[in-house]
Each structure stands twice: as structure tokens, then as C-alpha cells.
Structure 1
């Protein structure tokens, strides 16, 4: 349909201009390499961070990964239309500070998910390379996919890859088919998003009746709230990935069970929906 073809490019110039003020100047989170985790998932984690800018993929990861005593799970990331990883630098570094390796695709047109899959392939090669700092420190058994806008749609596309364990699309554009996804999904919308309207994200949620799926609408958020300082997006995204990729039961309780944390947090969320598979 014509409206589907026109919607994705609407984020292009505005997204880049909005990001230019905050993302470039932000400093990498610092911290010790202790295994202690901040109780507030929106706070920086215990790992100092580093960035490796490649041709196809930019990696955000714990700085001391070469001497780490553990394997670190992976998040692959897709950008919004005409945007690059630096636009989302604060969020990606936040995840790295929590112990994740983030493989961000260096493409402003991520919808097909090709570059996101290439990030997994890159880390697989580095994990087996004795000369790499990543050697034997990449947890390729626990991989999540996320992205914003067009990249959110790409996260859904990549979610069909059997290597992916969960998806977290942020305000995803419409060019994806969630019927092909076979892993749990957290679909995030912004209450005041006038580019990817909440009803478009709800359509993905409604179609995801074959997988555990949650729809979360962040109160007051517009399409560019996640750009630069990720604000209210930092805590729930971190908790979701810690629950599914690290086995963090406290984080899991934010989404599952009768005490579901986000279900009662009306200050942060304007709408939360969980399907029957989540309830089980």
C-alpha cells in the first residue's frame, strides 16, 4: 500500500537533526567490572565501555572484555531511516555498561536486516579468533534484536532468524511481518508519536498471538524521545534483555507474573497489554 511506502522515509532528516545535539557529546558510562548490577535498570551498569567502529558494524561493549570471566550476550541493532548508530549512542552504551555486546548496523536503510545479521556473523568470527579481544567472550547462545523506527521493523524481520532469542522493536515502522517471529517480543510505542502512531505498533501486537508478546506505550514519549538521552526507554529495554538473555529473574518480574512491574506503573506507561502466552 502507498501509505506503507511513504511512512518510513518521514523520519529521515528530522531524526538526524534531533540527534545532533545530544548524542555526539555524551561520554561513555564508566564503572567497575564487578558483577553487581544496579537495582535501577535505567542507571549505568557496572562495566566501563568501549566502541569499535567498523565498515558494516559498530560494536559497543564492555571495555575489559578481553579479561572478562564470562561470555557476554549480544544485542543487534537497526537504525531509523537515514540514521546511524551514533544517533542512539547513549542507549547502546547503556546496554554495554550492563554487560551486553551491541552490534549496531552502520546503515541508514536497515529494513531488510542484512547488516544486523552481519553483526552476528562478525561476532561469531571474533569469538573464534585467538587474536581478538572477543575470543571466547561472546555468548552466541543468547542474542536479542532491537531497533528504532525502520530499525524496529528490521528487528522484527531479523526475529525470524533462528539465532535470535527475543526481539524489542522500538516504535517499529510497518514494513515487517511478525508472523515469522517465534520468540518473545516487547513492542514499544510512544504515546505522542505522530510518525509511527501507537495504533501501528498495536497492530503488530495484535498479530503476535502466536508468541509471548507485550505492548508498552510510554507516557508522553514522541518519536524522538529515544534519540540522544534515551530517557524512559533505558530501564525497560535493559530489564527485558537482562530477563531474556541473562536470566535475571528480578528483571523478568517487570513483565511476567501477577506482580508485573510495568503493569502497575501508570506514571511511566500510558498503556500496557500482555497476551495470553505471557500470562502463562
Structure 2
């Protein structure tokens, strides 16, 4: 019995060490976006790199969960008297910004300041809220590269999976929630799952433009009733429920990436980027992806189950 106990302890220790090592490995390749395919012109365009060269700065945090936050920004910011919109990213489960840096770099190349942190359990939205406060403090710090460079009325939130729930809480539950202008989520944990995990959000509080997405694969939608069993992380029924609970006065979109599993949601990058460009940079071309009866998203076979209020 003693020898069996020792074997079990060694096995558990091995798994813990392996998980720790794996959690620090890069999740995506530097040029991951080059593998994306689409027949939709604008989706293909916005899934790639933008025109801005990008720089990065890492800063330590006194918060034990945040540990460190990283900021990616257009390099021209260092020598140009101009303000740029800000996007705050909430991490998915067991994920830190440091393991998917190419995602941030690609998004920043479209003219955004993009910030992430090292919190691997960000569903409460608390560290996202703190990160926003810390970055906005840099906007007032004359010694910071971001001094006077953040467009404070053009701030977006985005998150995936647990991070989707965290992003929803960040824009609805904190003193600085009113600073956000828009939100995008990919496969946000459905309401009952979020509640059971301690990430409960009240979707009816969302009063800013919101693009909610998910995949059609079984990991997001098993086809089972999510009210009585685990129906996947973000079943269609939950998107419909969330969409219907948001005021019709809010510009809202729900859509699913055809054939995508829960871990494939970087396939939404093109339209996530277009959404942020339209909402935070007033880009009319990006807006044509979503607006009206001829919106590109409506004609794109990569997407299905679309409903929108404009």
C-alpha cells in the first residue's frame, strides 16, 4: 500500500509539473493568422496584419493575480502626438497573456493599444478592472510611453470562454465599467455555467455595442439542454437567451463560426477586429461587415445563426 501511495504521489506531482510547464508554452505561432482562409474579402483582410509596426512594454504589478501586464501599441505612438483607442483583453481559463502574444501584436497592428495580464482565472472581471485602472494611470504619468496617448472615450473589452464572462462582468459590475464603449466575446461561458463557477454576470446590464460569438462544434454546443446538463461552453440557446435579454436600443450581434470548436475561436479574429475598428475607430469599411441587409457577415459561409439589431 505504501509503495502504491508513493507511485500516486509521484504521478500527481508529475502532472502538476507538466501542467505548469505546458501553461507557459506559446499557444499560437507568431504568424498563426497566415493559415486563415476566407472567401469574404473583408474577413480575410482584417484577420491579417494591419499597417502599423508594433512595440511592447511589460510592467510588473503589485497584484498577485495580475503579476505582470503587457501592453502592445503602434510604434509611431512613441514619436507622434496622437491618441489611440484601447482594448483590454480578459484571459480564458488557465491562460496568461504571455502565452498568446502574437494575438495581441496582430490586433495592435490595426492601430490599437492592447493590454493583457497574467491572471489565469479571470472570470470575475476584477483583474480586468484593475488592469484598466493601471493603464489609464499611465496615461497621466509623464514618464510613461503612454502619457497622453490613450483615447479614453474609445475603450473596448474582449474575452474568450471564462474570459468572456470576465469581460461581461468588467463592463457591468465595477466602478470603471462605464469607461467601456464596446465589447466582443468568443464562446463566453453560458449563464448557468458562469454562475456555478463563480463568474455570474447579468447580461441585461450590457448597454454598449456587443458582438457575441461562439463555435458550432460540440465543445461549445453539445446539443443537450444546458439548463439540465452541460450543453457545451456556449450553446446556441445561450446566445439567443443573452441576445434577447439585452435592450433592443443597443447595437448587438450574435453569430457562430461554422464548424469551429471551443478552442478554434481565433477563427473569429477577422470580424472581431472589424468590430473594434468600427466601434473604436469609426471605420466605415469595417462597419460594412455588420450594417444593413447587405452586411458581409450575412453573405459569409464561415458564419451562421446570425441575428443583429442594425
Structure 2 gaps of 5+ residues are 1-17, 34-41, 195-200, 220-231
- After superposition, residues 163-174 of structure 1 pair within 5 angstroms as 163-173=179-189, 174=191
8 Å Cα contact 1:66/1:137 also seen in 2: no
Q: What are the superposed Cα offsets for residues 232-259 of structure 1, whole Å, 9 maximum, x if unpaired?
A: 2221011000000000011111111222
Matched, 1:237 2:272: yes
- After superposition, residues 3-42 of structure 1 pair within 5 angstroms as 20=25, 22-23=27-28, 25-26=29-30, 40-42=45-47
8 Å Cα contact 1:28/1:49 also seen in 2: no
Look up the SS of the partner of 1:128 in the other structure.
Answer: coil
Q: What are the superposed Cα offsets for residues 121-154 of structure 1, whole Å, 9 maximum, x if unpaired?
A: 1222111122211111111110011011010011
* 2:3 alignment counterpart: none
* 2:257 alignment counterpart: 218
* 1:202 alignment counterpart: 240
Larger Rg: 1 or 2? 2
Q: How many residues are matched?
A: 250
* Greater Cα offset, 137-146 or 66-75: 66-75
* 2:5 alignment counterpart: none
| Partner Cα distance (2:157, 2:297) in 1 | 21
Q: What are the superposed Cα offsets for residues 153-174 of structure 1, whole Å, 9 maximum, x if unpaired?
A: 1111122211010110111013
* Greater Cα offset, 196-205 or 184-193: 196-205
Look up the SS of the partner of 1:254 in the other structure.
Answer: coil
- After superposition, residues 55-134 of structure 1 pair within 5 angstroms as 55=61, 56=66, 57-134=69-146
8 Å Cα contact 2:89/2:159 also seen in 1: yes
User: 2:203 aligned to 144, 162, 178, which one?
Assistant: 178
CA spacing shift, 1:83–1:248, aligned 2, 3 Å: same
Q: Which has the higher contact order (CA 8 A, sep 6+)?
A: 1
Q: What are the superposed Cα offsets for residues 184-236 of structure 1, whole Å, 9 maximum, x if unpaired?
A: 1000111115141332333222222442211010011111113xxx3x22210
* 2:293 alignment counterpart: 258
| Partner Cα distance (2:26, 2:218) in 1 | 20
CA spacing shift, 1:212–1:38, aligned 2, 3 Å: closer
| Partner Cα distance (1:101, 1:247) in 2 | 16
* 2:225 alignment counterpart: none
Structure 1 gaps of 5+ residues are 1-12, 30-36
| Partner Cα distance (1:181, 1:121) in 2 | 20
Deviation at 1:28, TM superposition (A): 11
Look up the SS of the partner of 2:115 in the other structure.
Answer: strand
Give the TM-score normalised by the residue count of structure 1.
0.81
CA spacing shift, 1:120–1:218, aligned 2, 3 Å: same
